[in-house]
A and B are shown apart, each in its own frame.
Chain A
Amino acid sequence: MTTAAGAHGGHVDHEGARFGMWLFLFTEILLFGGLFILYAAYRARYPNEFHEAGGHLDAVIGVANTVILLTSSLTMAASITALRTGQRRRALASLAGTIALGVLFLVNKYFEWSGEIARGFYPDSPLLAGRPQGEQIFFGLYYSMTGLHGLHVMAGIVLLAVMLALVLRHRITGGEYHKLENAGLYWHLVDVIWVFLLPLFYLAA
């Protein structure tokens, strides 16, 4: 028996696999949910400090990364549709494009973080120690939440790379596209979480 083998004979239970994927996405939402709750609690406690601290972030990079991730979700969906309608080459190209956009997001993130660290905004930094407590919390949450999100982008890129390999080897095809679809669900979730991170941090000012 392999993954998601049905009770009635050996065929793969696609419905079950997708159901399981949705359950997994719930756990991801709750994982971030803990952080969002902390954000809500601290923002209510330090509204002015959060406003002030948000001004130290680079909203241009934040918005650019949002555009990049949203585009990558589009190419992800396009890849699945292309595969299902028998356009394998287009599916591969879109999938590769999704991966490239994910990498681009991380490259931006790297420069963004480097910039902030260079300017002295990082946890436990001497600069922050001299600033109001709310700003210290803001940056603590900023690094935790965008950092955890970044880890998820990395995991997503690895996942999509595996999918790409499977499509290349004809293990995922127009008739057996469900793994790709589930990977797509994960990618969209990572995207959706970012859509919430953008206003909470970059547009907080």
Chain B
Amino acid sequence: MSSYLDTGGRGGIAGWIFSTDHKRIGILYLATMTGLFFVAVVIGVLMRVEQLVLDPPLFAPQVYNAFFTVHGVIMIFMFVLPGLGAVFGNFFLPIMIGARDVSFPRLNLMSWYAFVAGTVIVFVSLFTGDGAPDTGWTFYVPFSVRTGTNVTLGLTGVFMLGFSSILTGLNFITTIHRLRAPGMTWHRMPLFAWSLYGTAWVQLLATPIVGITLLLVIAERVFGIGVFDPAKGGDPILYQHLFWTYSHPAVYIMILPAMGAITEILPTFAHRTVFGYKAIAYSSMAIAFLGSLVWGHHMFTSGMSEQANLLFSLFTFLVAVPSAIKVFNWTSTLYKGSIEVRPPMLYALTFVFLFAIGGLTGLMQGALAVNVHLHDTYFIVGHFHYVMFGGTGVAFFAALLYWFPKMFGRTYNERVANLAWAPIFVGFNLLYFGMLVLGYMGMPRRYFTHLPQYHTGHVIASVGSFILAAGLVLFFANLVVALLRGKRAESNPWGGVTLEWRIGSPPPAENFDVIPEIQGRPYRFNPEVSE
């Protein structure tokens, strides 16, 4: 049986962009998203350069505003939000549950087109009209209504990206409900699939809220409907409520599949079944549920009522519980395992470390009194980069290293992958721990310049960003070389036990000759020892 890489009917690029094969669509996402990631990395590094060259500033303040807006929009809406779900979810969800494709393959391709269309519109908005959007990725009113920059077009693009996310979620939920192989009960599903299931519900139910909110900002700009305009009796705080009603759950859209991928990698390299299967599965659902009730913690300083503040603070602490359950389960999975630290495992363990810092700094901000001090400082920037980049980003790298041989049928140079880890880890912590400290000292976010007392911290963070960027280049260069010249991969190079490791590398076009019959629970590394 020929692999999905060399079948498809049409040759060349058409065979890819018109293919409804979930694996090819996963690769399409991987290619587009990686490209966009590097665009945003470059912008991020430019922002760090700006903080080194203060007088006169290297880039005008308005340019800096556009930088952090575009960096945020690309990283959030085009990289971490589709994230592991769009790439590895598309590629592996059907395989892991023993299906030949997702439920709606054409809809799946359409969501990639929506993604590309949204991306193109956002990029067009940067170079047309009266300047690139300068609102930050949060598009807060009233500024987003009053600024003369090209916000309307940018919002239209983001709306399209949301549409793409909704369609993917819809597809995954239906696929998991309808297409599990015979014998694949809910409790026999791999945990990556469980995490995608929780994620998909959030994508489906929360994204429409931000959709309508952004449409209302557009309507406000174009027609002046007044719902967010204080001059007409509107309330900007309601914008914040609606925006975060989506955008906080969106954080869990970003992190849940990352946690799912880590849950696949750790047992494989500990050669031991995952500890607390059900606890991990249900904590995904609990995170999806509780994560939808915490949005107000972005608004503690906005003048909400004290009762609302207290409740949102309480829920924020509660959502840490299922997240911590996962961390404990991962640690317990390692206990008495025979741990083999190969590149995917190295990055997965790094995820656990960085995510723990991200999570704990999040709790600091969930405390009401501390939040007032930390609000809108570099501390929050450091925190969410620990979660989004140290969490989702590093998990993305781990998943890429884990599944690369399966996806492309090639092996990469493991030593270089390990080598790239060092600058990524060191640079990352210099940059973002530096930001945590700067923020605690009082450095506000989104300023193109800073006071002299923050200069040392900024220099450290900027140097960290250069080291980090060098590591990222080495990491991806290694994979590109592997893609072109790597040795042929075996079908199961790591000794994994989920279904994707039982088919060829790269997988055949139809995934399975015969749909497998599932006999027992996943992660049985010693089937003869019984469950």
Residues of B within 8 A of A123 (CB): 223-226
Smallest Cβ-Cβ distance to A32: which chain B residue: B212
A38–B103 contact, CB under 8 A? no
Interface SS, A side = helix
Interface size class of B (residues with CB under 8 A): 35 or more
Q: Are A144 and B219 in contact (CB under 8 A)?
A: yes
Asked whether, in the complex, the Cβ of A38 is within 8 Å of the Cβ of B238, the reply is yes
In angstroms, Cα B208 to Cα A87, docked, is 39
A20→B233 contact, CB < 8 A? no
Q: Which residues of A contact B209 (CB under 8 A)?
A: 30-31, 33-34
Q: Which residue of B lies closest to A141 (CB)?
A: B227
Chain B residues, Cβ within 8 Å of A176? none
Report the minimal beta-carbon distance from A26 to chain B, rounded to whole angstroms.
6
Taking CB as reference atom, which chain B residue is nearest A147? B219
Using CB atoms, name the residue of chain A closest to B105.
A1
Kindly state whether residue B199 has any CB partner on chain A within 8 Å: no
Query: Which chain B residues lie closer than 8 Å to A38 at the CB level?
Result: 216, 227, 238, 242
Q: Please report the C-alpha to C-alpha distance between residue A63 and residue B77 in the assembled complex, in whole angstroms.
A: 42
B9 to chain A, nearest CB (A): 12
Q: Are B100 and A1 in contact (CB under 8 A)?
A: yes
A133–B233 touching, CB < 8 Å: yes
Nearest CB in chain A to that of B224: its residue? A124
- Chain A: which residue is nearest B212 at the CB level? A34
Residue of B nearest to A18 (CB): B174
Instruction: Kindly provide the distance from the CB of A204 to the nearest chain B CB, expressed in whole angstroms.
Output: 16
Known A-B contacts A41-B238, A144-B219; the reply to A6 vs B227 at CB < 8 A is no
Q: Which residues of B contact A27 (CB under 8 A)?
A: 166, 170, 204-205, 207-208
Contact B170 A144 (CB under 8 A): no
Cβ B226 vs Cβ A136 within 8 A = yes
Of B174, B212, B234, the residue contacting A20 (CB under 8 A) is B174
**Chain A residues with CB under 8 A of B215:** 148
A35, CB-defined interface residue at 8 Å? yes
Interface digits, A104-120 against B, CB 8 Å rule (1 contact, 0 not)?
A: 00000000000000000
Question: Contacts of B181 on A, CB cut-off 8 Å?
Answer: 7
B198-242 residues at the A interface, CB under 8 angstroms = 204-209, 211-213, 215-216, 219, 223-227, 232-235, 238, 242
A147-163 interface with B by 8 A CB criterion: 148
With A16-B178, A38-B238, A144-B219 as given contacts, are A30 and B227 in contact (CB-CB < 8 Å)?
Answer: no
Q: Is the CB of B242 within 8 A of A34?
A: yes
- For chain B, residues 245 to 266, give those with C-beta under 8 angstroms from any C-beta of chain A: 245
Partner of A144, one of B180, B216, B235: B216
Q: Does the CB pair A41–B225 fall under 8 Å? A: no
Please give the distance in Å from A147's CB to the nearest CB on chain B.
8
Contacts of A41 in B (CB 8 A): 235, 238
Report whether B233 and A4 are in contact in the complex, using a CB–CB cutoff of 8 Å: no
What is the minimal beta-carbon distance from A122 to any residue of chain B, in angstroms? 8
Residues 1-53 (chain A) with a chain B CB within 8 angstroms: 1-8, 13, 15-17, 19-20, 23-24, 26-28, 30-35, 37-38, 41-42, 45-46
Contact of B212 among A16, A31, A124, A134 (CB under 8 A): A31
Closest to B107 in A: A3
Digitize B497-531: 1 where CB-to-A-CB distance is under 8 Å, 0 elsewhere: 00000000000000000010000000000000000
Contact, CB under 8 Å: B178 / A140: no
Task: Give bound CA distance, A20 to B98, whole Å.
Answer: 20
Residue of A with least CB distance to B178: A16
Which residues from chain B contact A19 at a C-beta distance below 8 Å? 174, 177-178
Inter-subunit contact A4/B227 (CB<8 Å)? no
**Residue B487 lies at the interface, judged by CB distance under 8 Å to chain A:** no
Docked-complex contact B232 and A2, CB < 8 angstroms: no
Q: Does B111 contact A (CB under 8 A)?
A: no
With A35-B212, A38-B227 known as contacts, the answer to whether A3 contacts B238 (CB < 8 A) is no
In the bound complex, what is the Cα–Cα distance between A53 and B205 (angstroms)? 32
Shortest Cβ distance from residue A134 to the other chain B in the assembled complex, whole angstroms: 6
Q: Are B178's CB and A15's CB within 8 A?
A: yes
* Residue B99, interface by CB 8 Å: yes
Q: Which chain B positions have C-beta within 8 A of A20?
A: 103-104, 107, 170-171, 174
A137 touches B178 (CB 8 A): no
Given contacts A27-B166, A46-B233, contact A7 B227 (CB under 8 A): no
A143 and B232 within 8 A (CB): no
* CB neighbours of B121 from chain A (8 A): none
> Closest A-chain residue to B245, C-beta based?
A34
Q: Of the candidates B104, B234, B238, which one forms a contact with A4 in the assembled complex, judged by CB atoms under 8 Å apart? A: B104
Interface residues as binary, B102-129 with A (CB distance below 8 Å gives 1, 0 otherwise): 0111110000000000000000000000
Whether B134 sits at the interface, judged by CB under 8 Å, is no
Is the beta-carbon distance between B211 and A133 smaller than 8 angstroms? no
Q: Could you mark each residue 77-105 of chain A with 1 if its beta carbon is under 8 Å from any beta carbon of chain B, else 0?
A: 00000000000000000000000000000
Most buried by B among A123, A134, A139: A123
Residue B101 interfacial (CB < 8 Å) = yes
Interface centre among A7, A26, A38, A123 (most CB of B within 10 A): A7
Give the shortest distance, in Å, between B234 (CB) and chain A (any CB). 6
B363 at interface (Cβ–Cβ under 8 A)? Answer: no
Residue B179 at the chain A interface, CB threshold 8 Å: yes
Which residues from chain A contact B204 at a C-beta distance below 8 Å? 23, 26-27
- Give the docked Cα–Cα distance between A140 and B238 (Å): 15
B205 CB contacts on chain A under 8 angstroms: 26-27, 30
A143, B212: Cα distance in complex, Å: 14
Known contacts A20-B174, A124-B224, A136-B226; decide if A1 and B101 are in contact (CB<8 Å). Answer: yes
A166 to chain B: closest CB distance in Å? 16
Q: Is the CB of B233 within 8 A of A136?
A: yes
| B234-A140 in contact (CB<8A) | yes
Q: Which residues of B contact A124 (CB under 8 A)?
A: 223-224, 226
> Smallest distance from the beta carbon of A40 to chain B beta carbons, Å?
11
Inter-chain contact A4/B170, CB cutoff 8 Å: no
CA of A45 to CA of B233 in the docked complex: distance in angstroms?
10
Q: Please list 5 pairs of residues, one from A and one from B, whose beta carbons are closer than 8 Å in the complex, sorted by A's number.
A: A2-B105, A6-B178, A34-B213, A41-B235, A148-B215
Beyond the given pairs A5-B105, A140-B234, 15 more chain A to chain B contacts, judged by CB atoms under 8 angstroms and listed by A's residue number, are A1-B105, A3-B104, A3-B106, A4-B103, A4-B104, A5-B100, A13-B179, A16-B179, A27-B205, A27-B208, A34-B213, A123-B224, A133-B232, A143-B225, A144-B219
Ranked nearest first, the 8 interchain pairs of A and B with the lowest CB-CB distance are: A133-B233, A140-B225, A124-B224, A34-B212, A30-B208, A31-B208, A16-B178, A140-B226
- Please give the residue numbers on chain B whose beta carbons come within 8 Å of chain A beta carbons, in ascending order: 20, 98-101, 103-107, 166, 170-171, 173-174, 177-181, 204-209, 211-213, 215-216, 219, 223-227, 232-235, 238, 242, 245, 515
